[in-house]
Amino acid sequence: MAPSLESNKIVVIDDESNKNLLKEEEEDGMLFAMDLGVLVALPMAVKTAFELGIFDIIAKGGEHAKLSSEDIASQIGSINPNAPSMLDRLLRLLASHSLLSCSSLPQVTKDENDQEHELIASPKKNVYSLTAAASKYFVTDDDGVNFGHSLSLILDKVFLESWSELKGAILEGGVPFVRANGMHAFEYPSVDPRCVKHVGGDMFESVPNGDAIFMKCILHDWSDEHCLKVLKNCHKAIPEDGKVIVVDTMVPVLPENKTAAKVAFKADLLMMTQNIGGKERTKHDFIHLATASGFSSIKFVCSVSGYWVMEFYR
């Protein structure tokens, strides 16, 4: 007797759909691997655009400005006849990552009556504008500040050379920056004429008194031992009702694929290559630093763009 449909489940296997799904997954994996191979192009393109002043040039054109590579080339002082073509290739990469917006305009010519006519046979011209989301952070604000300065520092050849020593540091020991440059990252500015003038002081010896002490992106440069020295000095420098305000990146305990987590893990590896004992920390790590340096409590106030604002109470 044949089994009834009511008492049996019928499983339909679509081999073609499965094959297409596997093919899509394999292609996505291959493209991801290929993207890693050319990943350096994006940050270096952003650095170049910042150093050429491209974001500021577009911003100065007004809120709805749309500039072609020819427009931009005419404002950067280039003497290279190929600059417009080279710029267009750079700009379209930025646009593909939403750092700029790109649209096409027909190329026109004027007749003897000064009337414009579209050149049908000519390719359309790309024009670029700022995006509300990301490009604004590379435009110089009223205080003369933008994120491009930090990006240029991180991508400076002095720091980039450290990455070539990461493998050696893992196998043989040492700090990649020291292996590449022969000195600690905090010693290097004294021999580079591009760097700022240093003001005397040693936070490991003492910290000036104050009702509150603010430290942003300081602790991640140092080992736990160094951080405890600094925090203990801060503890001595504030009154009973004082506090130390710490702003730093925080890494999750387990890997995550959220943007904030990716930035934190990349920053952690950056700290490992540049500084002795430098690292990004977990929430538990900060609690340990607070209690071990004598503070009675720590408050995690808020998180802004991947940075945590923490208050250490005496």
Which is more confidently placed, 130 or 123? 130
User: For residue 8, what pLDDT band results from cuts at 50, 70 and 90?
Assistant: low
pLDDT for 198 equals 60
Residue 2 pLDDT more than 70?
A: no
H-type alpha helices, the chain: 15-37, 41-51, 54-60, 69-73, 83-96, 148-154, 157-163, 166-172, 176-181, 224-237, 259-274, 283-292
pLDDT for 107 equals 62
User: d(Cα 47, Cα 148) in Å, to the nearest integer?
Assistant: 7
User: For residue 14, what pLDDT band results from cuts at 50, 70 and 90?
Assistant: low
pLDDT for 119 equals 54
Of the candidate CATH numbers 2.60.40.4070, 3.40.50.150, 3.30.360.10, 3.40.50.620, the domain formed by 152-313 belongs to 3.40.50.150
pLDDT for 6 equals 53
pLDDT for 110 equals 58
CA dist 150 → 28, 47, 56, 82, 146 (Å): 32, 10, 16, 29, 8
pLDDT for 238 equals 93
Supply φ then ψ for residue 250, to 5 degrees.
-125, 130
198 tagged catalytic: no
CA dist 280 → 54, 112, 251, 261 (Å): 32, 66, 6, 11
What are the extents of the domains in the chain? 41-139, 152-313
Q: In what order do the strands lie in the sheet with 297-304?
A: 212-216, 243-249, 307-313, 297-304
User: For residue 227, what pLDDT band results from cuts at 50, 70 and 90?
Assistant: very high
pLDDT for 134 equals 84
Segment 206-212 shows an average pLDDT of 90
Catalytic residue among 220, 226, 284, 288: 220
* Total count of residues recorded for the chain: 314
pLDDT for 123 equals 64
Two tokens, residue 303: 């998180």
User: d(Cα 126, Cα 184) in Å, to the nearest integer?
Assistant: 46
Q: Do domains 41-139 and 152-313 have the same CATH topology?
A: no
- Does the domain at 41-139 match CATH 1.10.10.10? Answer given as yes
Segment 58-76 shows an average pLDDT of 91
How many alpha carbons lie under 13 Å from residue 197 in its C-beta half-sphere?
Answer: 1
Q: How many CB atoms lie within 10 A of CB 42?
A: 15
